[in-house]
Structure 1
Amino acid sequence: MSTVAESAPFQLPTSWLGVGSLAIGSFALVTSEFLPVGLLPDIARSLDVMTGQAGLLMTMPGIVAAAAAPLSIAFAGHIDRRRVLLALLVALAVSNVLAATATSLTMILIGRFLLGLAVGAFWTIAGSLGPRLRPGPEGVKANAVILSGISFGTVAGVPAGAVIGDVFDWRISFWAGAGLAVVSIVAVMALLPSLPAKNRRGIRGMPGLLLRPKARIGLFAVLTIFLGHFAAYTFVTPYLNENASISGATLSLLLLINGVAGFIGNMLGGWVSSKKVSLSVIVAAGLLGGSALLLFLLGSSQVAAFVAVAVWGLGFGMVPIAMQSFLQSAARDALEDMQAMFVSVGQIAIGLGSFVGGLIVDGTGLSGAILFGSIAASLTILLMLTPAARSSQR
């Protein structure tokens, strides 16, 4: 009887409001993480540092997030997940305030360090809550809604931050980020129910996941698909400039289309994942690999470039929910452990992707990075066709 009583609150329609509050939090995190992208020159001038040094504002959160993901499992212990998430969102707000008031590079990097902690731990915990808030088949849909904050942040949040910084001052953009964090705190306080910790193993349960063939395949797939995407997409703008003579307003329009397609891909990924998780990864990788190959072969055509970049956005929009759903299907008894590994491997792959892409560009040119992205996506498909990937093992 007690089991029914405990699970009943998560069966109510109001649990969707809890899911929505986590989507607001993810939107605030993504927007804050990528705010410096369009502001680096202004930040560098204001703090009297080189632009390359200011680039540490993007490097710092990724490195810290990769470490914070597993550590959050170790230190969160038996604390109610609602309380943990609120603490992380408070850290997000503080990180933005530190950035907005920074008088030195060190001060703003401290803020970005806090952001990295919040990013890694938030995705680890919030990313595993969809099935708890909406048990059964709706768990995948709930995760898709939570992850939709990524798409909203990319499509709307990041460009808006750049515009605010351009019209007013870069510090105002970070103040806006702090405001978003406060909104997310209020949303979680008001809408997210109490979620007692279920992970009794702590960090000790994570190594055991590597003994599961399906989990190993999934983590390799995370590495290949993220590595390939960021190796290629990091250099897609200069590639379009050089090969298709796309720049200025036309380039901005194309990147906006890519972002909108990514939002649609997120919803599509949630729907396909609810039917068959391995198929969702195959479709996402196929769209990514196919669009990169199209860009490589016909990139000099503006029409082909528009089609390729739009399809690329659709494919990558599917990736987070498709990969997350696949990994969770391999460890339904250890969702937080698997989510922590997903976040860590994903963050490492993102950093490696840009680095590897740079090496390829220096060695073979921009086209080489685009082709590498297509090859890596193809390897992801091959991984999903192995017997271990198609098994129902948990």
Structure 2
Amino acid sequence: MSSDVRTTVPDANPGEAADGELIPPEPVAPSWAAVFSLAMGVFGLLTAEYLPTSLLTPMAADLGVSEALAGQAVTVTAAAAMISGLLTASLTRRIDRRMVLLGFTVLLIISNLLVAVATNMAVLMLMRILLGVALGGFWSMAAAVAMRLVPAALVPRAVSIIFSGIAVATIVAVPLGSYLGDLAGWRSTFLAAAGLGVVTLVFQLFTLPRMTPHGTARLGTLWEVLRRPGFGVGIVGMLLVHIGHYALFTYIRPALETVVKVDVDALALLLFVFGVANLVGTLVSGWLLEISLRLTLTLTPALMGVAALGVALLPAGQAGYVFLVVLWGLAFGGVSVAWSNWATRMVPDQAESAGGLVVVGVQSAIAGGAAAGGLIFGIGGVVTVFTVSGVVLLASALLILLRVKAPRRLAGN
């Protein structure tokens, strides 16, 4: 495979490799089957992460614990994902990337199987930690691996396809998990998730090429990457975008009920439409990134900010509010894809470490955004949450436009 050839970049300019660092060369032809196998992996991991949300009541009753304690199955997964995202590049730097990815899929299968037969909360929590390790590691490597599967010009499209697994999981995991749980019990739902993992593993075995490790990552590499010119301010912009979004998203239901004034049936339909818009935005962002990374990074929070302020401040009528919610979902679909592409373009020689920092930033922003949104909600209600978040999103768009470097293409290609 061409991915086994080593190259070096002599100069260390913003967005290019540091002296002597190894950059995986650009493949001659795209391996789309491998890209789709990674999308399946992301879908399986995110589906497993979300399942407790829809199965909380029966899980808690069966294990003899409170729903609050059972809900920590989601918390420990997110915490483990943060740690795994930080450490994966350095701890696996000498291992074939194909084997690392397959290993994460195996962890997914083991986690779901043992959760399905868990007789106490301790076993369940341990298995959810395994899932978090797989989730954070897989996500941190996704964009870096895409660089080794398709030519540079197609990397944005490949990353958008891989990350579409997140949007699909967001749409189907909770309702499908709830349906299967009612039909066959919560344990059978996790067995089904393990079966999906087995199918994914087989697909990956046949499609993922051997990818010789080129990384030189150490724990100190994370700090070195943060100190690269322009990288730190970009991370700040990324954090602001995600904090703004998750402050909004935490309170999407009360916003739809009190501002848009939808009933329970319409609420479920609108949340589904929001998810579909998110999926469309994820796929469209791959095309938009091929035109301009800076445009995508700036446009997505700008549209989200406009949507948030429109919901909070405009007498748009129900149809207008629905349009704004769809616009919000469409715009957010491009956020993860854009920032993962940005990270790999800024530091292609340490793309996996950069991906780990993105994972940690996103997970931190989820917690921070939800906490900030809760504080603002308690003070001024849902309209204030949407107003403040909208301002934060527009401010982040301005910061990105003026201060964040946006390399036109992957350095060294």
C-alpha separation between the residues in 1 aligned to 2:36 and 2:4?
24
CA 244–129 in structure 1, closer or farther in 2 if over 3 Å, else same: same
Unaligned runs of 5+ in 2: 7-23
Work out whether 1:385 is the aligned partner of 2:404. Answer: no
Deviations 1:162-210 (A, max 9, x none): 2211222122221111111111111111110001111123333221122
How much does 1:298 deviate? 3.8
How much does 1:35 deviate? 1.1
1:226 aligns with 242
Q: Choose from 22, 28, 41 the match for 1:11.
A: 28
8 Å Cα contact 1:244/1:300 also seen in 2: no
1:206 aligns with 222
C-alpha separation between the residues in 1 aligned to 2:273 and 2:104?
32
How much does 1:327 deviate? 2.1
1:360 aligns with 376
C-alpha separation between the residues in 1 aligned to 2:138 and 2:114?
20
1:123 aligns with 139
2:391 aligns with 375
SS of 1:11 mapped into structure 2? coil
Work out whether 1:319 is the aligned partner of 2:335. Answer: yes
CA 114–376 in structure 1, closer or farther in 2 if over 3 Å, else same: same
2:321 aligns with 305
Q: Choose from 367, 371, 382 the match for 1:351.
A: 367
SS of 2:295 mapped into structure 1? helix
Q: Structure 1 vs Structure 2: percent identity of aligned residues?
A: 32
Given residue 385 of structure 1, which amino acid in structure 2 is its aligned partner? L
Work out whether 1:38 is the aligned partner of 2:54. Answer: yes
Deviates more, 1:201-210 or 1:94-103: 201-210
How much does 1:3 deviate? 8.5
How much does 1:261 deviate? 0.5
8 Å Cα contact 1:243/1:299 also seen in 2: no
8 Å Cα contact 1:383/1:389 also seen in 2: no
8 Å Cα contact 2:233/2:403 also seen in 1: no
SS of 1:79 mapped into structure 2? coil
Work out whether 1:54 is the aligned partner of 2:70. Answer: yes
Deviations 1:249-293 (A, max 9, x none): 111110111011011101121111122111101111122111111
How much does 1:213 deviate? 3.5
Deviations 1:139-177 (A, max 9, x none): 111111111111111123332222211222122221111
Given residue 185 of structure 1, which amino acid in structure 2 is its aligned partner? L
8 Å Cα contact 2:293/2:406 also seen in 1: no
Work out whether 1:246 is the aligned partner of 2:262. Answer: yes
Q: Residues 251-266 of structure 1: matches in 2 within 5 Å?
A: 251-266=267-282
Q: Choose from 181, 185, 188 the match for 2:201.
A: 185
Given residue 210 of structure 1, which amino acid in structure 2 is its aligned partner? L
8 Å Cα contact 1:44/1:50 also seen in 2: yes
Deviates more, 1:296-305 or 1:102-111: 296-305
Q: Choose from 13, 31, 40 the match for 1:24.
A: 40
How much does 1:392 deviate? 6.3
C-alpha separation between the residues in 2 aligned to 1:61 and 1:285?
27
C-alpha separation between the residues in 2 aligned to 1:110 and 1:170?
18
8 Å Cα contact 2:293/2:408 also seen in 1: no
How much does 1:391 deviate? 6.3
C-alpha separation between the residues in 2 aligned to 1:327 and 1:58?
27
8 Å Cα contact 2:118/2:124 also seen in 1: yes
8 Å Cα contact 1:214/1:391 also seen in 2: no
Deviates more, 1:378-387 or 1:307-316: 378-387
8 Å Cα contact 1:285/1:315 also seen in 2: yes
Given residue 114 of structure 1, which amino acid in structure 2 is its aligned partner? L
C-alpha separation between the residues in 1 aligned to 2:303 and 2:266?
23
Tell me the TM-score normalized by structure 2. 0.89
CA 247–300 in structure 1, closer or farther in 2 if over 3 Å, else same: farther
Work out whether 1:144 is the aligned partner of 2:169. Answer: no
2:304 aligns with 288
2:15 aligns with none
How much does 1:46 deviate? 2.1
Given residue 12 of structure 1, which amino acid in structure 2 is its aligned partner? A
Deviates more, 1:220-229 or 1:362-371: 362-371
8 Å Cα contact 1:231/1:372 also seen in 2: no
2:349 aligns with 333
SS of 2:333 mapped into structure 1? helix
Deviations 1:36-79 (A, max 9, x none): 12221222222222222222121111111111112111210210
Unaligned runs of 5+ in 1: none
Q: Residues 58-137 of structure 1: matches in 2 within 5 Å?
A: 58-137=74-153
8 Å Cα contact 1:148/1:263 also seen in 2: yes
Given residue 64 of structure 1, which amino acid in structure 2 is its aligned partner? A
Deviations 1:16-51 (A, max 9, x none): 111111111011011111111222122222222222
Moved over 6 A (4+): 2-9, 391-394
Q: Over aligned residues, Cα RMSD in angstroms?
A: 2.3
SS of 1:365 mapped into structure 2? helix
8 Å Cα contact 1:285/1:377 also seen in 2: yes
